[in-house]
Amino acid sequence: MSEQEAVEGESGRASLARTLRFLREKAGISLGKLAEDTAYDKSYLSRLESGERLSKLAVMEDLDRYYGSGDLLVTHWKGARREAFKDQYKEYMRLEETARVIWLFSLGVPGLLQTEDFAYEVLSAAQTPLDGEGWVEEQVAARLGRQYLLRQKPLPNVRIIMDEFAFHRPAARAEIWYEQLQHIEDVAAWPNVVVQVLPFKAGAHHHMSGSLTLLWQKDESTAAYKEGNGVSELCEEPDEVLRRRLIYDRLRDQALSPSDSLAFIRDVLEEHRP
């Protein structure tokens, strides 16, 4: 059986784990040798091969290069990470992965812009006793995995509007918050990304309780996704998507310009400089 053939009823994570084992055994090396060659901990690699852990995207990219397997592991990883999310969000992620234009409004720092340490703090605060061991690590890996969208080819056109509220809710540790602000500043300078700040002076708006994302595909089909108060909704009906685009347009009109937004971010960054 080829490493690319799926087993009926097999989960994405199980398929990834099986492929990892197959490639290592095909290469005729032990876990110890793999750990030595890649500088990844042997026990960590073992948990990946048993399906106990979901890796970060960078790990799969490294292992694809090591085995010379193209993007095989990355492809399996993309399927496996979707399992960390609810069904409706999985469909949204499928559309997000192929979108050529992404417009997002968020009250807080959106997942597409979060650093690993900041995401860990946010998700640790959200963890409950019902969540299993390793839940936070898996959610962090899945969240950070979405960020490859910002640099995949062809580069999508991305606009992110963040409420000023996001810049007044720092992480618990000062160094983590400073690094998070630096990352937002860096991404705002990327040629395919525009970051804007919606200031408090804009007053009340339609999405004070959640986020809104608009997606355009190559075939010009569109979708809108909103989250808030524990409820999420994916919509592809043209009239409703248009209504939400008009709401987004109002938010953009009230936001600071990209250059003024960057200046605002740098001012906040300076305030939190260690």
CATH of the domain at 53: 1.10.260.40
Highest mean pLDDT among 90-94, 148-152, 182-186: 182-186
- Residue 149 CA to residue 38 CA, distance in Å, equals 25
Same structural domain for residues 210 and 114?
A: yes
264 in Cβ contact with 256 (< 8 Å): yes
Mean pLDDT calculated for residue range 7-18: 76
Distance CA 267, CA 264 (A): 5
Residues 110 and 246 grouped into a single domain: yes
Look at residue 210 and tell me if it is in a domain.
yes
Contact in structure between 117 and 171 (CB atoms under 8 Å): yes
pLDDT at 250: 92
Mean of pLDDT values over 193-204: 93
pTM of the model: 0.70
CATH number of the domain where residue 241 is located: 3.30.870
Cα–Cα distances in Å, from 98 out to 28, 58, 73, 101, 242? 36, 20, 19, 9, 20
Q: Which of 120, 136, 138, 126 lies closest to 83 in space, CA to CA? A: 138
**Structural domain harbouring 21:** 12-82
> Taking 50 as the threshold, does the pLDDT of residue 84 lie above it?
yes
Mean pLDDT of all residues belonging to the chain: 86
pLDDT at 30: 93
In tens, the pLDDT along 126-168 reads: 666 556 567 788 788 878 888 888 988 899 999 999 999 999 8
Q: Is residue 4 part of a domain?
A: no
Same domain, 52 and 134: no
Domain count, the chain: 2
| Residue type at position 104 | L
